[in-house]
Chains A and B, each alone.
Chain A
Amino acid sequence: MGLGFAIGVFGVLILFHAAYATIQYRGLLKITEEEFSGPPMNVVAELLLGLFFCMWAALAVPGKFLSIHPDSEENRIVSLPANLDFMIFNHRGKVFPGQMDLKLRH
């Protein structure tokens, strides 16, 4: 998950770089007074790369899918909820002296 997060951060950084490159390109177009038809090819490639990295991170970071079959290996119920019917009090603890004279420590 750390790797997926790093890839996501990297993808977002690539997108920021592409945005900055587009802003500079528009500044250049203003000087030469041309119309903006689309970002230059390397910015397009950068955007697709950033999109790919972010998609990888979007799939890897949130965590695995958990199985919903009740009888699959990792869904076994191995304990009972705390239920008075199953608690046993008839054990060797009954030979301890009844009254304890010690006070509780604060």
Chain B
Amino acid sequence: MVAHGDSSSSEKKLGNGLNDLPTFNAENLQQNMKTIHYSRTFMSIIGGVVAGIFGFTGLKGFVLYFLVMAFTSIGLMAKAKFSVHSYFDSWNRVLLDGLFGGLMSFVLFWTFAYDIVHIF
């Protein structure tokens, strides 16, 4: 195997025997978080465009957003083969991360698509 450089590719969080903190590979965890962030952002944008084309105004659009996010969460679970603990350290990360950041992108593209399709 090629020798790795000083920046170790697997920094670990170690715990002593008494407290028994969970040890995991932090760099891979970060990579996984980036992956789900990309997925959620892309789906927020696509959901916004779909909401605009449908012509939803008001609460119906937000309902669509949470539906799309729920399906994305299910898809991410399936991608992780439902064994969340071998890829993430808690369920909340997979389910809730990026939910409200995506809301901004959703509203932006929702208004954009609505304007293009229904107003101009």
- Report which A residues bind B (CB closer than 8 A): 11-12, 15, 18-19, 22-23, 26, 36, 38-39, 43-44, 47, 50-51, 54-55, 57-59, 61-63, 65-70, 72, 75, 77-82
Closest B residue to A63 using CB positions: B35
The interface residues of chain B, by DSSP majority, are classed as: helix
Q: Can you list 23 A-B contacts (CB < 8 A)?
A: A11-B46, A15-B46, A19-B117, A50-B50, A51-B68, A55-B72, A55-B75, A58-B38, A58-B39, A61-B38, A62-B34, A62-B38, A62-B39, A65-B35, A66-B32, A67-B86, A68-B28, A69-B25, A69-B86, A70-B25, A75-B25, A77-B10, A82-B3
Q: How far is the CA of A77 from the CA of B28 in the complex (A)?
A: 14
* Chain A residues with CB under 8 A of B118: 26, 36
Which of B4, B35, B80, B116 touches A81 (beta carbons < 8 Å)? B4
| B: contact size bracket | 35 or more
Most chain A beta-carbon neighbours within 10 Å: one of B26, B46, B47: B46
Minimum distance in angstroms from A62 CB to a CB of chain B = 4
- Closest 5 pairs between A and B when the two form their complex, measured CB to CB: A66-B28, A68-B24, A78-B1, A79-B3, A62-B38
In the complex with contacts A58-B72, A75-B10, A82-B53 CB distance below 8 A: no
**Measured between C-beta atoms, what is the minimum distance from A56 to chain B in Å?**
8
Residues on B with beta carbons closer than 8 Å to the beta carbon of A51 = 46-47, 50, 68
Q: Which of B25-49 contact A (CB under 8 A)?
A: 25-26, 28-29, 31-32, 34-36, 38-39, 42-43, 46-47, 49
